[in-house]
Chain A
Amino acid sequence: MNKPSSQINSKSFEQTVKHEVDMALALSAQEFAWSRFLQHKLLSSPHEDPSYSSKILETSSCKQDGKEGAEIKKKLKELQKLVPGGEEMNMEEILSEVGSYIVCLELQMIVLKSLVQDNIS
């Protein structure tokens, strides 16, 4: 997203809010690798999108044959893309990190929901 140099538009404001939200997420659970990664990423390039992506995952509607190892690897790669810092983790690390990441995401959702509620009312 290109932020105009001379003008702040709502888009960059959204980015800012998003940035802040992500930073809060990262700060809320600092003992995890994904949190540190997210923090670094946010601090270094403040107005880039973090590792979120809205694309829908194409689930394994493809082959379901005996090549389960390869399939699992493919899924793990997807997971790596989702979890911040996932590219540098191997399988075991990802599995341990993703649990904490999920819980923190849920927590963040609760907070955001309540914030939105407060703003609406």
Chain B
Amino acid sequence: MLEGLVSPENLSLSSMDMNVLERLKWLQQQQQQVVSRTSDNSPELLQILQFHGSNNDELLQSTFSHFQMLGSGFGPNPNMGFGPSHEAMDGCISRTSSFQMDPVDTMGVMLKNSEENRTISSKNKRKSEVKRREEEKTEKTIKVEAETESNMKGKSSMSNTEASSDTSKETSKGASEIHKLDYIHVRSRRGQATDRHSLAERARREKISKKMKYLQDIVPGCKKVTGQAGMLDEIINYVQSLQTQIEFLSMKLAFLNPELELSVEDLYVKQLQDYFTNLPVVIASKPSIMVDVPLFPLDQQGSLDLSVINLSQTTSTEAPSASWETQSRSLYNTSSLGFHY
């Protein structure tokens, strides 16, 4: 039950990839609505996306598998299998961009070159030039976004960003390009250094800030706090409070149950003996309960021994047995732990 409960959560938090994937799937089905819902940043993106190219660059195979759903006119890329739906792409790009990063960053991310299209577009895109670009970029965006998303989980290595030959031009105009596989796509703004280290540093910081944003949504009360330190404070306090609450609840659970259960203390021995005189009746009437007995290290009294308690367990329970999954599942599946009359 617990696994089942968690799976939807996992969908949402296992990776941002999944969020994007789900959204992209949805987008593919509802292209028109997506277009209408695109964010304000979409006008420029739309123009870019008009010119889907047949760029067959493959930046990230693994993350591309996620995006095979995308039907966005990227041409015959065997690995990606994109279909021809520009609007979906528009929506998805804008939605993903609005979700993931600032519009400016998205623009920068979109300004990626493919090796094939160097003739068409220089490697150094500027925001103003984006509209004039054709084809290539759009494909890169998805790849890049996929990449950045996967990077958020720390999957891909933190590789250097490379400035192209027109670095000076780029810097002045504010766009940086990466055109190799597994590279972090970072946008550098005007006046910022574009050497390897600072780009890498900036990319790292962006990843971290993305994650902090995600945590902000999760942890209640985090949005009012500004600054990383404050947010970390909140997060720490929240995790601690959750843990103590769980500890308390589990102790409460343990406390509640022994009164009905077979806790082998001196104080309870008499109770126990009384209990065990009735036990055969219990066993006969409610055999299913035996299976649900939680892991319970009772090996003191002979009558408590495996035949009674550990019907469902194979080992004597000093240490948890190997069948954890079944046990924990049974623990959580039963509404009544132990013997209720």
Which positions in A face B, CB cutoff 8 Å? 6-10, 12-14, 16-21, 23-24, 27-29, 31, 42-43, 46-47, 52-54, 56-57, 59-60, 68, 71-72, 75-76, 78-79, 82-83, 91-93, 95-96, 98-109, 111-113, 115-116, 118-120
Distance from A84 Cβ to chain B, minimum over Cβ atoms (Å):
10
Given A115-B253, A115-B332, check contact A8 B337 (CB 8 Å). Answer: no
Distance from A88 Cβ to chain B, minimum over Cβ atoms (Å):
13
Interface SS, B side = helix
Interface SS, A side = helix
Please state if A99 and B254 are interface contacts (CB–CB under 8 Å): no
Please state if A14 and B9 are interface contacts (CB–CB under 8 Å): no
Please state if B235 and A98 are interface contacts (CB–CB under 8 Å): yes
Please state if B254 and A13 are interface contacts (CB–CB under 8 Å): yes
Please state if B298 and A8 are interface contacts (CB–CB under 8 Å): yes
Q: Mark B108-143, 1 if CB is under 8 A from A, else 0.
A: 000000000000000000000000000000000000
Contacts of B243 in A (CB 8 A): 52-54, 82, 105
Please state if A8 and B300 are interface contacts (CB–CB under 8 Å): yes
Please state if B239 and A98 are interface contacts (CB–CB under 8 Å): yes
Distance from A49 Cβ to chain B, minimum over Cβ atoms (Å):
9
Contacts of A19 in B (CB 8 A): 295, 320
Contacts of B237 in A (CB 8 A): 57, 59
Contacts of A99 in B (CB 8 A): 13, 211, 214-215, 218
Instruction: Give the docked Cα–Cα distance between A56 and B241 (Å).
Output: 9
Instruction: Give the docked Cα–Cα distance between A20 and B197 (Å).
Output: 47
Contacts of B244 in A (CB 8 A): 52, 54
Please state if A79 and B325 are interface contacts (CB–CB under 8 Å): no
Please state if B3 and A27 are interface contacts (CB–CB under 8 Å): yes
User: Which residues of chain B in 282-313 are interfacial with respect to chain A, using CB atoms and an 8 Å cutoff?
Assistant: 294-300
Residue of B nearest to A78 (CB): B236
User: Which residues of chain B in 24-78 are interfacial with respect to chain A, using CB atoms and an 8 Å cutoff?
Assistant: none
B14 touches A (CB below 8 Å)? yes
Distance from B314 Cβ to chain A, minimum over Cβ atoms (Å):
16
Contacts of A18 in B (CB 8 A): 247, 250-251, 254
Instruction: Give the docked Cα–Cα distance between A6 and B204 (Å).
Output: 55
Contacts of B327 in A (CB 8 A): 20
Q: Mark B263-288, 1 if CB is under 8 A from A, else 0.
A: 11110000000000000000000000
B101 touches A (CB below 8 Å)? no
Please state if A104 and B9 are interface contacts (CB–CB under 8 Å): yes
Given A56-B240, A99-B13, check contact A112 B250 (CB 8 Å). Answer: yes
Binding stretch for chain A, among B87-95, B161-169, B174-182, B224-232? B224-232
Instruction: Give the docked Cα–Cα distance between A110 and B6 (Å).
Output: 11
Instruction: Give the docked Cα–Cα distance between A26 and B212 (Å).
Output: 23
> Which of these, A75, A101, A104, contacts B229 with CB under 8 Å?
A75
